[in-house]
């Protein structure tokens, strides 16, 4: 059982991630790494923005919702299912203008993000090791 199947089992990555792998080819051998790197950059930016926004005296819930919407979208696009799920709850708290709920969700989404980041990084490291050892990554 390969690593991606394992991740899917635990719900970290859904079938969208497999789609990304299927799009990778000889013309674009680093496609998945590139997309995932963009996801890391974008997410970290959004998480910082969210933290800043929730620190404000007068919380701008519309702005927070916009950021969470973006994070929800990008996590969905790469298959980071658990991050996406927290974003759904996060948006509900935004609508309710519930600061406690929002803060809790921010903590949760940070946690889920770091989990999936670790998973993805180890996945790439493993692939790199295989390639360096002269092997090949079986594509399903």
In the complex, the residues that contact other proteins under the rule CB under 8 A are 16, 19-20, 22-23, 25, 28, 31, 34-35, 38-39, 42, 66, 69-70, 72-74, 76-78
Query: Residue 32 CB, nearest distance to other proteins (Å)?
Result: 10
Q: How far is CA 40 from the centre of its chain?
A: 7
Is the Cβ of residue 99 or residue 124 nearer to other proteins in the bound state? 124
Is the Cβ of residue 24 or residue 98 nearer to other proteins in the bound state? 24
Q: How far apart are CA 90 and CA 103, in angstroms?
A: 9
Query: Residue 134 CB, nearest distance to other proteins (Å)?
Result: 28
Is the Cβ of residue 35 or residue 103 nearer to other proteins in the bound state? 35
Q: How far apart are CA 35 and CA 123, in angstroms?
A: 14
Q: How far is CA 75 from the centre of its chain?
A: 4
Query: Residue 139 CB, nearest distance to other proteins (Å)?
Result: 14
Query: Residue 112 CB, nearest distance to other proteins (Å)?
Result: 17
Cα distances (Å, whole numbers) of residue 16 to 97, 103, 130, 138: 31, 28, 23, 18
Q: For residue 118, what are its two tokens?
A: 């670790």
Q: How far apart are CA 65 and CA 77, in angstroms?
A: 18
Is the Cβ of residue 121 or residue 129 nearer to other proteins in the bound state? 121
């Amino acid at each position: 059982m390969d690593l991606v199947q394992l991740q899917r089992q635990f719900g970290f990555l859904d079938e969208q991630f497999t789609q990304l792998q299927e799009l990778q080819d000889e013309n674009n051998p680093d496609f998945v790494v590139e997309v995932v790197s963009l996801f890391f950059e974008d997410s970290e930016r959004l998480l910082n923005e969210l933290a800043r926004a929730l620190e404000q005296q007068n919380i701008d819930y519309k702005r927070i919702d916009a950021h969470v919407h973006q994070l929800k979208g990008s996590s969905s696009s790469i298959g980071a299912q658990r991050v996406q799920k927290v974003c759904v709850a996060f948006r509900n708290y935004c609508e309710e203008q519930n600061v406690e709920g929002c803060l809790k969700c921010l903590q949760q989404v940070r946690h889920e993000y770091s989990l999936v980041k670790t998973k993805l990084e180890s996945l790439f490291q493993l692939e790199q090791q295989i390639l360096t050892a002269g092997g090949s990554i079986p594509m399903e």
